């Protein structure tokens, strides 16, 4: 782990551990770095960087300071506004952005926040680039063979611009809907949006697929994200499913990159359960190629015993979706968590 960025970004209490000045410096570096990479390849167009945020009050502060840093360095900043971490990854990749930034502290309380960096392939940023960002935050970075304490400001027509890119978020919603292979007509679905990023996305997707949707914790005020809500406080969704007689429930965290389920009896379906259910589903249909599900060392022993019984192999990585994804990519695995 680096000096500021861990396995899931630069995270801490807003304006204490993670300050507006940090965000400005991140923007200044990324704007210059990606622009200079393009110039060295003969491409004079500005770097394009897309930004999403969750519903925390401080997310607006960090969004504006990131934009100030990016545009001061000559990059164009595209704003998805309140959206999910997976949507930033998707849009970064399919729309040809040089990198993406998500402002969120995931399942943490409202007073925390974070900056997640995403590369052009929609994956978590490479450690080499993150190390350069950290060097710049610390006041000195060796870049393109030169030692710099500051990167140049853009001047005149080279100063960057800001673009409203809400259309990208809408296209991500359409992409999710397109993944639905079956109609959900007649299915009663409960959603706990944690007063976070999923509050204006999840309901749209399930209703478009035909489900009858009941939503809780979809009234963000900047201070209530994850507060007694979402995937870390799933009791509310369990009660909702039981009391309303729903067929299934889904609970998200603040930036909707984490999900837990509740069955029709109000019982929690954990991440390990989800891996087992979908691993079995894929194996039965010949889609689990290779015959391996990737887990972390935090997975329950019962999951491995259940996989043994149905003939599914498994791998164990360090804790963190980054490590799961790296193993999947290296070994061609199709399912992990």
Domain final residue, candidates 269, 300, 317: 269
Q: Is residue 274 part of a domain?
A: no
Same structural domain, 248 and 286: no
Which positions of the chain have pLDDT values less than 50? 1
- Asked if residue 275 is part of any domain, the answer here is no
**Residue 293's CB: how many other CB atoms inside 10 A?**
27
* 112 in the same domain as 213: no
- Bridge partners, residue 131, by sequence: none
Q: pLDDT tens across 190-225, in order?
A: 999 999 999 989 999 999 999 999 999 999 999 999
Does residue 186 share a domain with residue 167?
no
Residues 6+ apart with CB under 8 A from 156: none
Give pLDDT, residue 306: 96
Give the residue numbers annotated as catalytic, written as ranges: 106
Shared domain check, 292 and 194: no
Q: What are phi and psi of 99, to 5 degrees?
A: -165, 170
CATH of the domain at 76: 3.40.120.10
Instruction: Answer yes or no: is 202 within a domain.
Output: yes
293 and 322 assigned to the same domain: yes
Q: Are residues 293 and 248 in the same domain?
A: no
Rounded CA separation 238/271 (Å):
16
Among 136, 171, 206, the domain-final residue is: 171
Please check whether residues 31 and 164 belong to one and the same domain: yes
- For residues 55 and 26, the answer to whether their CB atoms sit within 8 Å is no
What pLDDT is recorded for position 321? 83
Question: Does the residue 124 lie in any domain?
Answer: yes
Tell me how many domains the chain contains: 3
Q: Which of 144, 171, 198 is the last residue of a domain?
A: 171
Are 29 and 165 part of one and the same domain?
Answer: yes
- Domain-embedded: residue 276: no
| 199, part of any domain | yes
Give domain status of residue 96, yes or no.
yes
Q: Residue 277 falls within a domain, yes or no?
A: no
In a shared domain, residues 19 and 150: yes
Distance CA 139, CA 152 (A): 14
Task: Give the strands of the sheet with 313-317, arranged side by side.
Answer: 313-317, 292-296, 335-336
Cα–Cα dist 157/16, whole Å: 35
> Same domain for 233 and 255?
yes
**Ramachandran sector of residue 208 (left: φ over 0; alpha: ψ -120 to 50; beta: rest):** alpha
Q: How far apart are CA 98 and CA 27, in angstroms?
A: 13
Note whether 230 and 302 are same-domain residues: no
- The verdict on 205 and 313 lying in the same domain is no
Written as one string, the DSSP assignment of 197-221 is GGGGTHHHHHHHTT-EEEEES----
DSSP 18: B
Domain residues for 225? 180-269
Q: Which residues pair with 301 in a beta bridge?
A: none
Round to whole Å and give the CA distance between 216 and 194: 8
pLDDT at position 181 = 87
The pLDDT, as a whole number, for residue 2 is 66
């Amino acid at each position: 782990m680096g000096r500021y960025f861990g396995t899931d970004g630069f995270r801490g209490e807003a304006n204490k551990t993670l300050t507006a000045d940090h965000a400005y410096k991140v923007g200044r570096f990324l704007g210059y770095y990606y622009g200079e990479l393009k110039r060295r390849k003969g491409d004079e167009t500005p770097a394009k960087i897309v930004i999403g945020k969750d519903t925390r009050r401080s997310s607006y502060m960090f969004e504006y300071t990131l934009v100030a840093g990016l545009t001061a360095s000559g990059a164009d900043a595209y704003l998805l506004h309140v959206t999910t971490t997976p949507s930033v990854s998707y849009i970064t990749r399919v729309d040809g952005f040089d990198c993406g930034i998500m402002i969120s502290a995931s399942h943490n309380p409202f007073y925390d926040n974070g900056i997640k960096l995403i590369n052009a392939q929609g994956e978590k940023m490479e450690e080499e680039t993150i190390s350069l960002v950290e060097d710049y935050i610390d006041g000195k970075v060796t870049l393109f063979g030169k030692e710099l304490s500051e990167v140049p400001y853009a001047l005149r027509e080279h100063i960057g611009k800001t673009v409203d890119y809400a259309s990208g978020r809408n296209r991500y919603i359409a992409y999710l809907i397109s993944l639905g292979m079956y109609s959900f007509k007649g299915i009663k679905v409960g959603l706990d949006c944690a007063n976070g990023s999923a509050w204006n996305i999840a309901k749209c997707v399930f209703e478009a697929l035909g489900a009858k949707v009941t939503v809780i914790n979809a009234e963000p005020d900047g201070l209530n994200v994850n507060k007694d809500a979402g995937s870390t406080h799933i009791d509310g969704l369990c009660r909702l499913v039981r009391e309303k007689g729903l067929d299934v429930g889904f609970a998200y965290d603040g930036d909707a990159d984490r999900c837990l389920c509740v069955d029709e009896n109000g019982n929690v379906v954990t991440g390990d359960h989800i891996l087992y259910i979908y691993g079995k589903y894929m194996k039965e249909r010949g889609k689990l190629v290779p015959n391996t599900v990737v887990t972390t060392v935090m997975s329950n022993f019962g999951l491995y015993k259940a996989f043994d019984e149905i003939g599914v192999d498994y791998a164990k990585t360090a804790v963190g979706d980054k490590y799961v994804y790296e193993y999947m990519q290296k070994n061609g695995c199709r399912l992990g968590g």
